[in-house]
Structure 1
Amino acid sequence: MIDLHIHRSAAKPSLKLTEWLNVLRAGVLGMNDGIISTAGIVLGVAGAQQSSFALFIAGISGLIAGAFSMGGGEFVSVSQQRDMQKTAAQKQRQAIADHYPEELADLTQVYLDKGISPALAQQVATELMLKDGLGATCQEKYNIELGNYFNPWHAALSSFLSFSAGAVLPLLTITLVPVRWKVQVTVIAVALALILTGYSSATLGHTNRTKAVLRNLLVGLLTMIVTYAMGHLFVI
């Protein structure tokens, strides 16, 4: 059985709650990656030299490349999921055409497993198969709502914009703050931003917020320390 996390919606033209959460997830992760990767790039360059122009060029290049990478990655990933949904629906259509009694029995068993009495389960399954067998079996077997699939453009655009937004923070601090405080202010600003994104991602995923924040902060700080140290190896 294909595990596809798609749920029912009240209106097909609008984004479903599940898709909104997927877009928000992509946005939070994109912002988080934008903060960490761009901070790593600019601090690596800062470790080698203090030229504001060089730092800006490095940061803006990382922003553009990262935003397209994140957006493209989300587009490919969600497109693949969408294709899997359509393929599963097509296979189910063929299964109903070739093995109708077996599909009816499977649907009946679904309702039996939910605690419905045998007679009622048989009646419900029979009526659903007659009215919309493909939709009913796809929903119950694969959790797919026909014709209402994830839109890869939503997640892609969310990742692209959020990565860019996240990348702006370290880019601005490293280029606009006076030379004496560039590194310190950037590290503090990035750390605060990572606390926020870590907390947000944990809230969306209903996971432990403290652990998520600490993990996020640790990864970000480690990235900045390593890249800054690497930059010092090539001091100009």
Structure 2
Amino acid sequence: MNNASFRARHYHDVLDPHRRISWLADVILGGQDGLVNVLGVILGVAAATGSTRMVLVAGLATACAESVSMAAVGYTSTTAEGDHFKSERAREYRHIVAVPQLERAEIREIYERKGFSGALLEQIVETITKDKDVWVAVMMAEEHRLVDVDRRSSARAAGVIGLAALVGSLLPLAPFLFFSARAGAWVAVLLGALSLFAVGAYKARATIGHPLRSGFELALIGTVSALVGYVIGAALPVATYP
């Protein structure tokens, strides 16, 4: 790839709002999941044992497992989308050969719903159906609402989700490096709630919605979910040994 092509692709990746939103969704998915899951685990361990060491061990183990698991889920889910796209595209190619009139009628119906009619509608249908590749591409986009996902994109999404999950998982562990298990638990809850609020507010600014409401909702949902772990740990205390 020459320098001009590389720069063009770089600016497209950075400035294209659709790509930015996709990356934002991956970061939020991984970060929120990692933070809430690990926070729930460490709150439960802190309530059950009162041991900072146990909290850190359990939290680190969960953080590592969570990041790998989320990366794997991100990869398999996006490759599944790509496989589904390819399967539907192959089916459309078969259909335009086996039942071209039916498929042509579907194209006509799609553009009728968009407000086209008469000679212009017929010209659109004729232009699209002259080329099988264009015909199938229109069907995939307009009828099925599907887009292709290649393996490289799947790997990139997996990396973003896994890294975000790791960062989100480690965040609530930080207070336990400086506080006792009991105090660290409440500092972790506060830190987690503030982080989730910031993520929710930023998501609303980057997409659509009210930043304060979005931030509050995400913080509330995540905090309540994590506190379930604390309740279970408090209800099932265990003795710890040196």
Please, what TM-score do these two structures have when normalized by structure 1? 0.81
One-letter amino acid matched to 2:101: P
- TM-superposed CA distance for 1:211, in Å, is 4.1
Given that 1:31 and 1:197 are in contact with CA atoms closer than 8 Å, whether structure 2 keeps it comes out as: no
> Gaps spanning 5+ residues in structure 1: where?
1-9
Given that 1:177 and 1:185 are in contact with CA atoms closer than 8 Å, whether structure 2 keeps it comes out as: no
Residues of 2 paired with 1:190 and 1:87: CA distance? 42
Aligned residue in 1 for 2:66: 66
Given that 1:30 and 1:160 are in contact with CA atoms closer than 8 Å, whether structure 2 keeps it comes out as: yes
- TM-superposed CA distance for 1:102, in Å, is 2.4
Match of residue 216, structure 1, among 207, 215, 218: 218
Within 5 A, what are the aligned runs for 1:128-143? 128-131=128-131, 132-143=134-145
Residues of 1 paired with 2:160 and 2:61: CA distance? 20
Aligned residue in 2 for 1:164: 166
One-letter amino acid matched to 1:234: P
C-alpha RMSD of the superposition: 2.6
- TM-superposed CA distance for 1:96, in Å, is 0.8
Aligned residue in 2 for 1:4: none
Aligned residue in 2 for 1:177: 178
Cα–Cα, structure 1 residues 117 and 220, in superposed 2: closer, same or farther, change >3 Å?
closer
- TM-superposed CA distance for 1:86, in Å, is 1.0
One-letter amino acid matched to 2:158: A
Query: Are 1:21 and 2:21 matched, yes or no?
Result: yes
Moved more, 181-190 or 90-99: 181-190
One-letter amino acid matched to 1:90: A
- Cα deviation digits, residues 117-152 of structure 1 (max 9, x gap): 31111112212221332223333322345xx43632
Query: Are 1:189 and 2:182 matched, yes or no?
Result: no
Residues of 2 paired with 1:224 and 1:102: CA distance? 53
Cα–Cα, structure 1 residues 137 and 217, in superposed 2: closer, same or farther, change >3 Å?
closer
> Gaps spanning 5+ residues in structure 2: where?
1-7
Given that 2:42 and 2:185 are in contact with CA atoms closer than 8 Å, whether structure 1 keeps it comes out as: no
More helix per residue: 2
Given that 2:193 and 2:220 are in contact with CA atoms closer than 8 Å, whether structure 1 keeps it comes out as: no
Please, what TM-score do these two structures have when normalized by structure 2? 0.79
State the identity %: 25
Given that 1:47 and 1:235 are in contact with CA atoms closer than 8 Å, whether structure 2 keeps it comes out as: no
Aligned residue in 1 for 2:104: 104
Moved more, 79-88 or 106-115: 106-115
Residues of 2 paired with 1:28 and 1:37: CA distance? 14
Aligned residue in 1 for 2:46: 46
Count of residues in Structure 1 that have an aligned counterpart in Structure 2: 222
